[in-house]
Amino acid sequence: MTCYYYYYFYHYYYYYYFYYYYYYYYYYYYYYYYYYYYYHYYYCYYYYYRCFCYCSSSSSSYYYSYCYCCCC
Q: What is the pLDDT of residues 20-48, one digit of tens each?
A: 444 444 444 455 555 555 555 565 566 55
Mean pLDDT of 5-14: 50
Q: Which pLDDT score is estimated for 25?
A: 45
> With the C-alpha atoms ordered 12, 17, 19, 21, is the resulting torsion angle positive or negative?
negative
CA–CA gap between residue 46 and residue 60 (Å, rounded): 35
pTM of the model: 0.36
When the pLDDT of each residue in the chain is averaged and rounded to a whole number, the result is 55
For residue 52, count other CB atoms closer than 10 A to its CB: 16
For 47, the domain range is: 2-71
Task: Give the total number of structural domains in the chain.
Answer: 1
Q: Is the dihedral of CA 61, 9, 4, 31 positive or negative?
A: negative
Provide the total of helices (H) and of strands (E) in the chain, helices listed first: 1, 3
**What are the φ and ψ backbone dihedral angles of 54, each rounded to 5 degrees?**
-120, 115
